[in-house]
Amino acid sequence: MSIQNTMKLSSSLGLRLKAAGASRSTRITTHPTFTLQAQLPCNSFNTHRTISRLAVSQTLNASTSKQDDRDERVVRMVMFGKPGAGKGTLSNLLVKHYDILSISTGDLLRLHIAQKTDVGRQVEGIMARGGLVPDELMLKIVTSKLDSLHNKHWILDGFPRTLDQSQLLDAHLRKQNTPLSLVVNLNVPDEVILSRISDRWVHLASGRVYNTSYNPPRVPGYDDVTGEPLTKRPDDNPEIFSRRLQAFYAATSPILSHYQNLASQQVAPPKNPYQHPHQVTLYRPTKVAVRTLSGNTSDEIWPELDYVMLSMFPGLKRRVDVQANRMPPLTEAIAANLAATSFGK
């Protein structure tokens, strides 16, 4: 049988071979999880091999295209680092420059505390002592928020804090078919963090963070956007902060190793309940990437983070600054020159 005839057969539904001696039909079906199913005929090995090559090529091209489009286009990101490393500041910069939502679990909890909710009352004492909120409670808060952002770009700040939390989060995201795409690790020296916590002020309602040393508000003590008073976090003192750093190294650092190992692995697609005994399953690499960014301040780290976003998500839309697109106001010199001409009279 010629290759041309074989290609005609491969494009028809059913792919039924009528070669002499073939008592059974050959059938090739595809599945979006990169699989190939084939029921072998009695006497058509070469023909079957040609059809198989064509089917595998078409299956891989179609399936990987859809999978890559879905995974690489959507930012599902964990901002990872020590308390006080600048996660909130950098998350706000990403939100300012890109069409991304920032989910800060710390700010969510503090908002619950301010509003005197049931969750707020449970965690208020824990945060005042520098402790960590139980996994079950944090997972419930986080996943209820993420489930409402299925196809949107988001950054998760402050969660997971333990290896168990990261595994629970991964399981939930895989179940929703929305796995993490990026983990950013902020590497800031301990002495730098401890030296600047006394200068940190926050706008509780929005989560905006200021530092009088390197990122001060335009008006001291007041939020740049709303003009509302800034406040100090109850856990922003050296003693509590030292305990938080110790807790970070003991419980949170293994998360980085977890995601680095995950990034180097290959995973099989979900099992097909209708899998044929001769089905071939092709593995693909995981989509999560881990990037470590180092610096003493958020201003130093931001250019690195901006480059990572542009290189990994080239289709990510930047926000349009309306003020930047307007014509600049006339200077006094230009205005005077216009007034001296016939056009200005």
Residue with more model confidence, 57 or 166 = 166
Q: What pLDDT band is residue 20 in, cutting at 50, 70 and 90?
A: very low
Instruction: Check whether 78 has a pLDDT greater than 70.
Output: yes
pLDDT of 335 reads: 44
State the average pLDDT over residues 77-84.
Answer: 87
Instruction: Check whether 182 has a pLDDT greater than 90.
Output: yes
Provide the CB-side half-sphere exposure for 195 (13 A, CA). 9
- In the chain, what are the domains? 3-69 (no CATH), 75-270+284-319 (3.40.50.300)
| Residues in CB range of 242: below 8 A, 6 or more apart | 194
- Residue 119 — φ and ψ, nearest 5°? -60, -40
pLDDT of 57 reads: 44
pLDDT per residue as tens digits for the range 287-323? 789 999 999 988 999 999 999 999 999 888 888 763 4
- Residues with a known catalytic role: 87, 161, 200, 233, 244
- Residue 295 — φ and ψ, nearest 5°? 170, 170
pLDDT per residue as tens digits for the range 105-156? 877 777 778 888 888 888 888 877 777 778 888 887 788 788 888 789 999 9
Whether the upstream peptide bond of residue 269 has omega within 30° of 0, thus cis, is no
Q: Which CB contacts under 8 angstroms, 24+ apart, belong to 39-44?
A: 39/276, 39/278, 40/278, 41/17, 43/19, 44/1, 44/17, 44/19
Residue with more model confidence, 166 or 20 = 166
